[in-house]
């Protein structure tokens, strides 16, 4: 991609402030740190308090779809301006709604935060990929890594503020920083066309003379959901993430329950967070070279092995429990980091924002399905280990669906896996939109 010095600077600024803005989209994942303080002040039940998290995750996907459509049809600036404003306002308003009724907080922390985050998340991902059409994995990996690092940095900061000044101050302070990231995003996040990059500026995007029609096709969302590839992709994400969500809520407790020292259990969770963030960056970048389906398939095979180790380590080699927890955090990061570029590789960049929003329906189903399965097993007298066995089955199903996806792509592309070469050919017909 041939850019002048000004355009290169704009690309760097886009990545920096895009990563800064997307960092805060990981904020709902530290809600468990806030829960005890919110419950103490309001008297809400655990279920009422947890609903804030689930609402934010549910509306996050709808925000992705809406924000993707806005930025695909108009510009990233509009999607960032609207989504970031909703997001920041939701957090700031939550500071004044710590009251006996949870309904107002459901709207501000749950609906407003989730929807606004979703609009920003898909917009930043899609815009980053358009700046790096030959390195989709690297571009999406950088910004998604920022999302994964949110919990690592904001959780301890939130604990200090909550302990000293309470949740109102925490919402106001963090909401103010979110507002700053929103303003900076509005200023610096722009697509290549807005930065003056023209098709003729990018001769390096032209590939060989005989790309297939399939590789040139830029799917709209309506066209995408009519393909088997879409459902294989969603099913792969769904079952891959359910395995992780079966572990995540009990990652520390299951280790101590099996006789592992508390300090080791806490260290494992911290290492898992590092693995999560690292996988989001390195795996998509690796997929640029070796192929996306191949990379995702490797991650899912590791998740099957980790879930099996977790299930059998109850009665033997309890240290494997710790190893399994760390590996599953890494697999989660690998899935979340790889799927944006995988989706764009399959369905094209022109409508990538909205398309990925629909693919993320797998996250919603997994987020709601995992606790439902866990509660169902508990209600029928099964212990936590049975949940891990269910996790093994789900992980195996995710491998099955990625194999079906691979076969579908091979049928269309003469057995060639998606990777860097495909993207170079596809970029012939992608505008700088």
- Give yes or no for a contact between 357 and 122, defined as CB atoms under 8 angstroms apart: yes
Q: Report yes or no on whether pTM surpasses 0.75.
A: no
pLDDT of residue 208: 30
Whether pLDDT at 62 is above 80: yes
In 3D space, the residue among 274, 272, 259, 338 whose CA is nearest the CA of residue 300 turns out to be 338
When pLDDT is cut at 50, 70 and 90, the band that residue 46 belongs to is confident
CB atoms closer than 10 angstroms to residue 376:
12
Give me the long-range contacts of 219-228 (CB less than 8 A, separation at least 24). 219/347, 219/348, 219/351, 219/355, 220/351, 221/65, 221/69, 221/351, 221/354, 221/355, 221/358, 224/347, 224/351, 224/355, 224/358, 225/358, 228/404, 228/408
Rama region for 291: left / alpha / beta (φ>0; ψ in -120 to 50; rest)? left
pLDDT of residue 204: 39
In 3D space, the residue among 93, 91, 97 whose CA is nearest the CA of residue 181 turns out to be 91
| HEC readout, 78-127 | HHHHHHHHHHHHHHHHHCCCCCCCCHHHHHHHHHHHHHHHHHHHHHHHHH
Size (the chain), residues: 433
For the segment 275-295, what is each residue's pLDDT rounded down to a tens digit? 888 888 888 888 888 888 888
When pLDDT is cut at 50, 70 and 90, the band that residue 198 belongs to is low
Mean pLDDT of 345-356: 83
For the chain, list the domains and their CATH numbers: 5-188 (1.20.1250.20), 207-429 (1.20.1250.20)
pLDDT of residue 173: 96
pLDDT of residue 216: 56
């Amino acid at each position: 991609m041939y850019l002048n010095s000004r355009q290169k600077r704009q690309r760097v600024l886009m990545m920096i402030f895009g990563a800064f803005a997307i960092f805060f989209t990981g904020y709902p994942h530290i809600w468990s740190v806030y829960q005890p303080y919110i419950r103490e002040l309001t008297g809400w039940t655990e279920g009422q308090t947890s609903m804030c998290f689930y609402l934010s995750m549910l509306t996050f996907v709808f925000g992705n779809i809406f924000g993707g459509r806005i930025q695909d049809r108009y510009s990233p600036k509009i999607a960032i301006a609207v989504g970031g404003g909703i997001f920041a306002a939701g957090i700031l308003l939550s500071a004044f709604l710590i009251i006996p009724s949870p309904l107002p907080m459901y709207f501000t922390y749950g609906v407003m935060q989730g929807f606004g985050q979703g609009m920003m998340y898909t917009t930043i991902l899609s815009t980053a990929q358009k700046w790096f059409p030959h390195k989709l994995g690297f571009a999406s990996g950088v910004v998604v890594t920022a999302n994964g690092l949110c919990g690592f940095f904001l959780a301890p900061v939130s604990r200090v503020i909550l302990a000293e000044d309470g949740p109102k101050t925490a919402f106001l302070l963090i909401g103010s920083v979110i507002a700053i990231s929103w303003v900076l995003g509005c200023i610096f996040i722009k697509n290549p066309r807005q930065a003056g990059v023209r098709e003729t500026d990018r001769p390096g995007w032209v590939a060989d003379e005989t790309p297939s029609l399939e590789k040139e096709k830029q799917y709209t969302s309506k066209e995408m959901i009519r393909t088997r590839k879409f459902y294989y992709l969603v099913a792969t994400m769904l079952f891959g993430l359910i395995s992780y969500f079966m572990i995540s809520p009990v990652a520390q407790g299951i280790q101590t329950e099996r006789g592992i020292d508390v300090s080791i259990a806490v260290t494992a969770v911290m290492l898992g967070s590092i693995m999560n963030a690292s996988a989001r960056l390195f795996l998509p970048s690796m997929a640029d070279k070796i192929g996306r389906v191949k990379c995702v398939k490797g991650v899912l095979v590791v998740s099957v092995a980790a879930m099996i180790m977790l299930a059998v380590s109850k009665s033997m080699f309890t240290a494997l429990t710790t190893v399994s927890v760390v590996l599953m955090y890494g697999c989660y990061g690998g899935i979340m980091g790889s799927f944006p570029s995988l989706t764009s590789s399959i369905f094209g960049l022109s409508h990538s924002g909205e398309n990925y929003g629909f693919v993320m329906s797998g996250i919603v189903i997994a987020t709601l399905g995992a606790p439902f399965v866990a509660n169902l097993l508990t209600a029928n007298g099964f212990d936590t280990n049975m949940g891990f066995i269910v996790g093994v089955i789900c992980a195996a199903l995710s491998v099955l669906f990625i194999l079906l996806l691979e076969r579908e792509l091979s049928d269309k592309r003469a057995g060639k896996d998606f990777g860097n070469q495909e993207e170079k050919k596809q970029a012939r017909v992608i505008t700088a939109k």
